[in-house]
Copies of this chain bind each other. A is one copy, B any other.
């Protein structure tokens, strides 16, 4: 088995799709009409280096789960932590990890209610988080409509230079959208725009027309492109762990969105294209070659 999508397909096939419309596939699963649950974990050597400050790791454990709940427009409420670590782990290291966990949880008023610990060759740390959908249905990946604008928060690419550990989950932005606007679909960018946009469109049964010049390329994508063979735009498309929100909204609400957003947030917000009825993705007219996940 290779890609995450292949594995998820296998899991769906073997375990059967859950009856809930918000089961395997969305960023969080529904446990009752008002509560969502999600779990996400980090692995040393895959998601962070052995030498990394464990406070950043603890913070990220909470923040990746917050980002999943944000993608569904849920208010985070409580979390369980879990971790496995090598026998020789020092008390001070564990304390750094716990300090990060606590700082991030406090920042978004998440109550830590329990967890599990064990031993492993490498650090593995995760959390389970429960959130509440304040009113109505959560944001899904499946509601994008033809003609909707496609929006993205923040700037994209090059997160490996630091943002992948220190990003701010878009909790407040998601709750603002949930309250004020009829967002038709939403996902958080964990595997890069080039993979997560196709995922959202596939769930919605739609295509898109993307304007490459509109993509908000981050400074770090530019910095990184000087060291790699890729352009900054390629980094913005392909790099994972941006943890920004990608959402769709009818163009009727464009003005209202922009006005209110500017009043409340410094977080950039960019319209990068439009949803189309053809199940294809075009970059400024050209068929997007990297769009293979879409088949």
Contact = CB atoms under 8 A, between A and B. Distances in A.
A39 B118 contact: no
Nearest to A40: B116
A122 interface: yes
A80 B10 CA distance: 16
Nearest to A105: B15
A11 interface: yes
A128 interface: yes
B121 A1 contact: no
A20 interface: yes
A102 interface: yes
Contacts of A47: 118
B116 A14 contact: no
Interface residues of A, number: 59
Contact of A116 (B18, B41, B78, B101): B41
Interface in A26-76: 26, 28-31, 35, 37-43, 45-47
A52 to B, nearest CB: 16
Contact of A101 (B15, B37, B121): B15
Contacts of A89: 1
A226 interface: no
